[in-house]
Structure 1
Amino acid sequence: MPAPAPRKNHKVLGRLSLPERTFVADALRTETVGGVLLLAAAIAALIWANTPIRESYESVRDFHVGPASLGLDLSIEHWAADGLLAVFFFVAGIELKRELVAGDLRDPRAAALPVVAALSGMAVPALVYTLVNVTGGGSFDGWAVPTATDIAFALAVLAVIGTSLPNSLRAFLLTLAVVDDLFAILIIAVFFTENLNFAALGGAAVGLAVFWLLLRRGVRGWYVYVPLALVIWGLMYNSGVHATIAGVAMGLMLRCTTRKDEGEQRSPGERIEHLVRPLSAGLAVPLFALFSAGVAVSGGALGEVFTRPETLGVVLGLVVGKAVGIFGGTWLTARFTRASLSDDLAWPDVFAVSSLAGIGFTVSLLIGELAFAGDKALTDEVKAAVLMGSLIAAVLSGVLLKIRNAKYRRLWEDEERDEDLDGIPDIYEQDNPAYHLRMAEIHERKAAEHRRLAEVTGGASEGNDGPA
């Protein structure tokens, strides 16, 4: 009788096997999982900061660690905001580079709608915040807080609710969010940089030049780039420019086009993003949320969110400003230029996504910390306003997306129905009344598009269905 096989010990929280590690990494690359982790971290922070053990939260958050001689004796909260978020912005930089060289932003005509929508979606919330604080006598320092969109949260909501929505809606939101990230980075670099250390800034510039040169020479190996990236980040932090800019700069330097003649299947940018995204979605962003979203919340505090001009401006900027700005900018661009909305989308879809962009969680929290750095109480109130505004925007957009998703699901079911089992969907059979209705809808849509193009181009000759 053969001896029984030895029982394999399984360590709790031990190192995962390769298949398990691959599964976890692939899961973290999906918007749904990343958004759920971000939400879980925010909820954990709120619970931790509003229970009898809140003193331990403050102790951990304010604990300092790091080499003081290098100017990096930072609190855990600052390490999360300045250090870990650099990983998030590194991935954002790669996404932006890919959109610029191989995505919608490469073609100016295709980029017009999402670019104008993103700009309008930042300008209108800033205007809403400013108007609220002009009338209420509040501080203008937080004008940039409601201008940002949290791409992870927004895409996660869209992935969960919009299972039957057109793919072009996700592409529109992704391009919109990438442009939004770019301008949020510019806002941080321009408006939240006060005292510059030119020696450290020059050192960071030299480090970035070396990083770029190594990439162009085709040098490979994480042991080369990771230490260099840490040096660049440290110099950027000490220069006075927000350290996350270093992550964006390095992400933009990566090549995001494939060399078919060399047999490349994926560009270096795609490969590195594939490796780094789980670190960003599974560690960097959730830890930032954990140590930034922990604000004391009570009935009185929530009431103040809607009475104090700074916090009310943030909430209205996210909920109203984002929806009006993005939808209005998209409609005006499609109305008065040659840019057009995708044939797969309708204007109610655009409004639902515009409302979804009001989820400004991660970057809005970061800008809130920078805008009111000298006032801890107001910083916490603004953070509460960001959480409240993002929650309202998520609920409203969720309802709208659910309605639109139900409509598209019904259309899909109608188009796939084959009651006579002849292998041809009933809607495409000539004797089915639904066929004629569907064809009439298609013709009407084409005619409306031609009329719109005729108006933009100054009118079409009589009898002409539109431009060739």
Structure 2
Amino acid sequence: MTHQPPVDEPTTRRRQLLGRLPLPERTFITDALRTETVGGVLLLAAAVIALIWANVWPHAYENVLDHAVGPSAPLHLHLTLGEWAEDGLLTIFFFVAGIELKREFVAGELRSPSAALLPVTAAVCGVAIPAVLFAVTNSGSGGHPGGWAIPTATDIAFALGVLAVVGSHLPSALRAFLLTLAVVDDLIAILIIAIFYSSGIRFWALGLAVAGLVLFWFLHRRGVHGWYLFVPLAAVIWALMHESGVHATVAGVAMGLMLRCHREGDEQHSPGEHIEHLVRPLSAGLAVPVFALFAAGVTISGSALGQVFTQATPLGIVLGLLVGKTVGIFGGTWLTARFTRAELNPQLRWADMFAVSVLGGIGFTVSLLISELAFPGDPALADRSKTAVLVGSLLCALVATVLLKLRNRHYRELCEEEDRDLDGDGIPDVYQQDDPAWRAWVGEFAPRAGDDRTDGGPGPSQ
């Protein structure tokens, strides 16, 4: 899965899956994943603090969680701190997800149908199989099929946090696949939340929110700048979306998708890239960890853990994350290779893809959010679902760690080869092959002088 340089090759050569990334795309992904990795470690720390707080001082945790602040009129924003974290802070997370999605369509893997086929198929299968497993597990009289979407999400920050903690040197091609998979996964999660977990639509508020989005798009496309204009406008759009009955995080996604993510003229960075560069640390370092602090605090006891494996709803979540996501992601990847006659990068094995598929079963942030949305009238069931999300994600992390550690020496060698720059010119030696076409291609898309980031190469204007 890579953008090939313009060299004359036999038309019968098979397309390669998980091949070497183009240099600009590799640089961009390295920068993005660095922030996500730090955020993943903070996310893990926040989850641990939440569990300790909720089990050692449960009343204090509940009092903070249920403390309400904000105006009650006219938009009914007198919300608990837990609701502010769920509806407010996660909007920042989904705003970044919207920019990532837009960039993937404009300059990333999703702009090419042939390259997009792998992560899209893997993501769709990775959503469908867990949902089916959950539905089958909850098909009896004691089941709750309404939680089918809980085990369908992949949490890239949590996965990268696990990689950082265990010290696995995952090659950039596998990291890029995991990131693109998570972006497509987020898109599916957004659609699921908007379609299945929105109720009591107030069309006057929804219409005003849409009008605000149109104004946001118009001002952005006219080249108007200034956070003092866009931040208040974004807050109004969010409040109207919240009032409309559509989940408020949809406003964040919509605004992210409206940003221009291709360069024009002599721009060093597109507006979308620039804003993502500013907001991503806020999302990964504050919004998501604080949400985890308020969402992951569930009571852990012998009976609670026993219910995870004996009751239909939590068992369906664990099976969906550990088995469903693994089978879906790996099966989707294998089917793509099988029916498109593509071949896997010879430096990798299918065992590597299987390990990454298990890692993709870590479904923390969005799964916790959907646990809240799926059972609004049954907090006890929502807590059991959250416990199942934690257990399932932990099992996926442990299994993936073992599988990745078995190949970690090989990964380290691949990473060293990717990073080696003996001539010190800032371009890894592996991109400076003797082939003139490679040299011309790298020179065309190499970072400009003074750039601290690059985009993923030229993409169609949007």
Q: Which bracket does the TM-score occupy, shorter chain normalised?
A: 0.7 to 0.9
Matched, 1:307 2:302: no
Query: More relative contact order in 1 or in 2 (CA 8 Å, sep 6+)?
Result: 2
Kept after mapping to 2: 8 A contact 1:168/1:342: no
Matched, 1:117 2:122: yes
What SS does the aligned partner of 1:373 have? coil
Amino acid at match of 1:80: A
| CA displacement 1:269-296 (0-9 Å, x = unmatched) | 1110111111111111111001111111
**1:356 corresponds to which residue?**
359
Report the Cα offset of residue 346 of structure 1: 2.0
CA distance in 2 between counterparts of 1:79 and 1:333 reads 41
Report the Cα offset of residue 194 of structure 1: 1.5
| CA displacement 1:394-434 (0-9 Å, x = unmatched) | 11111111112223346789999xxxxxxxxxxxxxxxxxx
Report the Cα offset of residue 157 of structure 1: 2.7
Kept after mapping to 1: 8 A contact 2:134/2:320: yes
What SS does the aligned partner of 2:269 have? coil
Amino acid at match of 2:68: H
CA distance in 2 between counterparts of 1:412 and 1:310 reads 41
**1:175 corresponds to which residue?**
180
Kept after mapping to 2: 8 A contact 1:295/1:383: yes
**1:66 corresponds to which residue?**
70
**1:129 corresponds to which residue?**
134
1:268 and 1:138, CA in 2 relative to 1: closer, same or farther beyond 3 A? same
33-42 vs 196-205, which moves further: 33-42
**1:287 corresponds to which residue?**
290
Amino acid at match of 2:103: R
TM-score normalised by the chain length of structure 2: 0.81
Alignment of 1:48-447 (within 5 A): 48-51=53-56, 53-69=57-73, 70-135=75-140, 137-159=142-164, 161=166, 163-259=168-264, 262-409=265-412
| CA displacement 1:9-66 (0-9 Å, x = unmatched) | xxxxxxxxxxxxxxxxx99962221111101111111111101x22111111001111
Alignment gaps of 5+ in structure 2? 1-30, 420-462
What SS does the aligned partner of 2:145 have? coil
1:413 and 1:197, CA in 2 relative to 1: closer, same or farther beyond 3 A? closer
1:344 and 1:263, CA in 2 relative to 1: closer, same or farther beyond 3 A? farther
Report the Cα offset of residue 134 of structure 1: 1.6
Percent identity of the aligned residues?
68
Aligned length: 388
CA distance in 1 between counterparts of 2:165 and 2:51 reads 24
Alignment of 1:11-30 (within 5 A): 30=35
CA distance in 2 between counterparts of 1:356 and 1:80 reads 26
Amino acid at match of 1:148: A
CA distance in 1 between counterparts of 2:384 and 2:47 reads 15
Kept after mapping to 1: 8 A contact 2:70/2:77: yes
CA distance in 1 between counterparts of 2:372 and 2:116 reads 32
CA distance in 1 between counterparts of 2:124 and 2:316 reads 19
Amino acid at match of 1:66: G
**2:19 corresponds to which residue?**
none
| Higher-Rg member (1/2) | 1
Kept after mapping to 1: 8 A contact 2:172/2:415: no
Amino acid at match of 2:357: S
**2:459 corresponds to which residue?**
none
Alignment gaps of 5+ in structure 1? 1-25, 417-468
CA distance in 2 between counterparts of 1:214 and 1:122 reads 36
CA distance in 2 between counterparts of 1:396 and 1:355 reads 7
Alignment of 1:2-41 (within 5 A): 30-41=35-46
CA distance in 2 between counterparts of 1:136 and 1:304 reads 17
Amino acid at match of 2:285: G
CA distance in 2 between counterparts of 1:28 and 1:341 reads 23
